[in-house]
Amino acid sequence: MNKWKNITIYVTILAVAILIGYDFVAIAKGGTEASISHLVKVWGHKYPIIPFVVGVLIGHFWWSVKPTKDLEEIERMVKKLDE
């Protein structure tokens, strides 16, 4: 596995873990209103551009990319399930 792929995996897992950990602490210390979920919901209503940008970002993650061995393996598994 290449170095940058490993770094991306670790950074992504770390970022998610930090956000989840922070959310638990924020709720425990400041109540539901201090949570990331609450903030996202409020900002989504106040600033509709935010859900749009998040949608574009999520679309970007699942948008078509250059085929790789990992993606080809997933494609084979999906085709096998469809049979």
CA distance linking residue 49 with residue 29, whole number of Å: 30
Q: What is the predicted pLDDT for the residue at 67? A: 86
Residue with tokens 């993650």: 61
Q: Each residue of 20-73: pLDDT tens digit?
A: 999 999 999 999 999 999 999 999 999 999 999 999 999 988 887 888 888 899
Q: Which two tokens stand for residue 42?
A: 């409020």
**Model-level pTM?**
0.72
The DSSP secondary structure of 4-60, one letter per residue, reads: HHHHHHHHHHHHHHHHHHHHHHHHHHH-GGGSHHHHHHHHHHH-THHHHHHHHHHHH
